[in-house]
Amino acid sequence: MASPEPRPPATPRSTGSFLSSELSRRILSGIALVAVALGTAWWGGLAFDILWALAGALVCREWVALSPARDQPVLALGGAAAVAVASVVLSVSGHLPSALTALAVGAAGLAALGRDRTSRLWALAGLLYAAVIGLVPVAARALPEVGLVVILWMFAVVWMTDIAAYFTGRSLGGPKLWPSISPKKTWSGFFGGLLAGSLAGMAVVAVAQDNGVAQPVPLWLVGCCSAIASALGQLGDLAESALKRRAGVKDSGHIIPGHGGVMDRLDAFWAVAVLVGLGLVVSSTVRAPAL
């Protein structure tokens, strides 16, 4: 009887196979996204505004692709163009009514192009959803003296909430937050993210105050606002999960390696941007009588 052939010696996993893994792609693309977001936020100006105009346009395109209007690509292209134009108008003019006018023209175009009432309503909803991404960061970054602080606060709350919710949920487990929408999310993850997001928001403002950049707002108030933003961000994540479940897809797109689509990365940021946008509207309304 012939002896069995010896097994070839085990070889260590190659760097190429590591880089091809899903986790490594997710980590590397995540680092790239953070670098681009922080770099353009610090630089400000046209680079930052173009980034968010592009993000808003891609979000609108992905929204339509998830909706009953997915078979009408003209609505996706038209909505994306309208958001991008409105964002650029706001960047160049610094005049929100002009940007909203551009957005209204785009909305009228979508209403005319849609083949039926359902597709028109979904396209218009996507336009409004994406406009938050395309306009609010641009308006917030343009705030005198505190624009960078506001953007960094938004990033810190969203990112730390996401990271802490993931690791707390995996470590502690427990009851599911909303199993029919997102089976993996837990209440422990929700509260872990809430705590981390609140502390991160407070830390950003505290550092800014120490350097004389931010106004001396009480940190307990900053903590409350950060907690609200953290909770809203997690609800925004759930809302996008519900939209994807309705469409029967796992990701909103495939443009970001390891992460899916732009909406997948900005669902929580969108909800925080809504909160910041409301704050900008209220503050401008309060200042108006004094002008």
What pLDDT digit, counting tens, does each position of 274-287 carry? Answer: 999 999 998 877 76
Q: Say which amino acid occupies 280.
A: L
Least confident of 138-142, 160-164, 187-191, 260-264: 260-264
Strand 176-178 and strand 182-186: the pairing is antiparallel
Q: What is the CA radius of gyration of the chain?
A: 22
Least confident of 10-19, 208-217, 225-234, 252-261: 10-19
- Measured over the CA atoms of residue 279, residue 135, residue 265 and residue 72, the dihedral's sign is positive
Confidence of residue 3 (pLDDT cuts 50, 70, 90): very low
Q: Which one, of 146, 145, 149, 109, lies nearest residue 127 by Cα?
A: 109
For residue 139, pLDDT over 70 is answered with: yes
Q: What is the pLDDT of residue 250?
A: 86
For residue 116, pLDDT over 60 is answered with: yes
Confidence of residue 155 (pLDDT cuts 50, 70, 90): very high
pLDDT in tens, 246-280: 888 888 888 877 678 899 999 999 999 999 999 99
For residue 60, pLDDT over 50 is answered with: yes
What average pLDDT does the chain have? 89
204/214 Cα distance (integer angstroms): 10
Q: Which one, of 287, 259, 263, 268, lies nearest residue 27 by Cα?
A: 259
Q: What is the pLDDT of residue 260?
A: 83
- Look up residue 184 and give its two tokens: 């993996």
Residues with Cβ < 8 Å from 50, sequence gap 6 or more?
A: 88, 91
186/201 Cα distance (integer angstroms): 22
Q: How many CB atoms lie within 10 A of CB 33?
A: 14
Q: How many CB atoms lie within 10 A of CB 218?
A: 9
pTM of the model: 0.88
Q: Name the residue with higher pLDDT: 23 or 14.
A: 23
Percent of the chain scored above 70 by pLDDT?
90
For residue 25, pLDDT over 90 is answered with: no
Helix 73-93 × helix 117-141 angle, to 10°? 20
Q: What is the pLDDT of residue 214?
A: 77
Q: Say which amino acid occupies 125.
A: A
